[in-house]
Amino acid sequence: MNEIPKADIALLAGADRRIANSIIFLTIICSFLVFWSWGAHHAVGFLIGGSLAYLNLRWLISVVDGLLRSPSAITRRRAHFKLILFLFLLTALLCVIFWRAWLPVLSVLGGFSLLVVGVLAECFYQLAIELKR
């Protein structure tokens, strides 16, 4: 049976923390760049989108951790409820943003896309560590 080496387990265990840190870092830096380029209104939209990306990551991590720790039927129902609740809240917030035009839509979506950027940054980090070996 192939077992994962302890060094790799430690590296993988910190992946969620590194992704979260990269989302926070990129949200702050990119919000300043957006503020400098397009103004405060777009920067606030980007900041809200980045905050939603961070919240999405935290929520997903808590659901997956809960399922891995206790795969009972009650935990599965609770995980499904959490995922559906988050999607409902996210959809409601995005609908309000789109319909009321309080914030620029592309700025909010740009901030929300930082979740993908954070995951890609982690992939490149893992590849760089592997290539160093």
Q: What is the mean pLDDT of residues 78-84?
A: 83
* Residue among 10, 15, 45, 41 nearest 27 (CA): 45
The string of pLDDT tens digits covering residues 1-53 is: 467 778 777 788 889 999 999 999 999 999 999 999 999 999 999 999 999 99
Query: In this structure, are residues 66 and 35 in contact, taking their beta carbons and an 8 Å threshold?
Result: no
What is the structure's pLDDT at 57? 93
Residue 124 in this model has a pLDDT that exceeds 90: yes
Q: What is the mean pLDDT of residues 94-123?
A: 88
The string of pLDDT tens digits covering residues 59-68 is: 888 888 888 8
Secondary structure of residue 3 in the 3-state scheme: coil
Separate counts of helices (H) and strands (E) for the chain:
6, 0
| Lowest-confidence region among 28-37, 89-98, 105-114 | 89-98
Six-digit token string for 113 = 């896309």
Q: What is the pTM of this model?
A: 0.83
What is the structure's pLDDT at 2? 67
How far apart, in whole angstroms, are the C-alpha atoms of residue 31 and residue 125? 23
* Residue among 13, 101, 96, 100 nearest 52 (CA): 96
Single-letter code of the amino acid located at 122: E
What is the structure's pLDDT at 43? 95
What is the structure's pLDDT at 127? 92
